[in-house]
Each structure stands twice: as C-alpha cells, then as structure tokens.
Amino acid sequence: MAIEYLYWATVTEMGILNDSETADGIADEWALYSPALLESTDVLVHALIADPQYQLPLQAPDGQYCPAQLDVRFEGHLDRVLIEVLDLSGKEVPMVVFEGAPMRLFICRYSDGTSRQEMGGPRH
C-alpha cells in the first residue's frame, strides 16, 4: 500500500493526472489529481517527493532517453556545475572523453555535492 501511495503521489507531482478526464477516471482510487492539491492535502509526502536529496523523478518520461546534448542545469539545480566525471568503476574520466564517448553510463559529480548517472556520448 505504501508503494502504491508513493506511486500515486509521484505521478500527481509530475502533473500526469492533472486533467479533468484523467481525474474523473481515477476518482474511485485517487482524489489528489493536481500537484497543488497534493501539496495542500499531504504536506509531508509532497515534501518527501520534492526534496532534492532523494533525487526522485519529478518529470514524466517523454521517450527521450539519449539527449543530444548534456544539460547540467536542470529544474531545481540551476546553479550547479559539473565538476567531475567518473566511469562506473570510480575512475576519473577527462571531460573530452566523456563528451566523445560511445553512449554509456558515467557518474557525474556536481558543485552542490550531488552526483547522478549520465549518458556520455557524441554531441550534436
């Protein structure tokens, strides 16, 4: 039940449920169809989902999983800068190698102390 609640809250926060047709279709299972309604009704779960330390997804999938260009400034982290790239074994990778690498995963560390996996590869 807890996982299902977290699922509903997460897709609500993403805005996936925020239209009248969807809200009507799920009314018997979930009433909090908009991010604003979730935030005003369940303050604690909203705070958990929105807390950047947990790095939960806040954008709905759009089918674009191999971006043509790495943008290290994404929502909520406009001031952070990419400072180090590591391969999955933890060995530092020069930026030029990261940007020109065949599509593969790297670990990127940022100036705000966070890190996340990113795809390296050709840039257009």
Q: What is the pLDDT of residues 56-112, one digit of tens each?
A: 888 887 666 555 445 444 445 556 777 888 877 778 877 766 666 666 777 888 887
Same domain for 84 and 49: no
Domain count across the chain: 2
Decide which of 10, 29, 54 is a domain's last residue. 54
**Same domain for 67 and 111:** yes
* Mean per-residue pLDDT, 24-31: 94
pLDDT at 27 over 50: yes
Q: What is the pLDDT of residue 121?
A: 54
Co-location of 78 and 119 in the same domain: yes
Share of the chain above pLDDT 70, in %: 75
Rounded to two decimals, the pTM is: 0.52
Helix, strand, coil percentages (3-state) for the chain, rounded to 5, are 35, 15, 50
Q: Are residues 68 and 108 in the same domain?
A: yes
Output Rg (C-alpha) for the chain, integer angstroms: 18
Domain that holds residue 26: 2-54
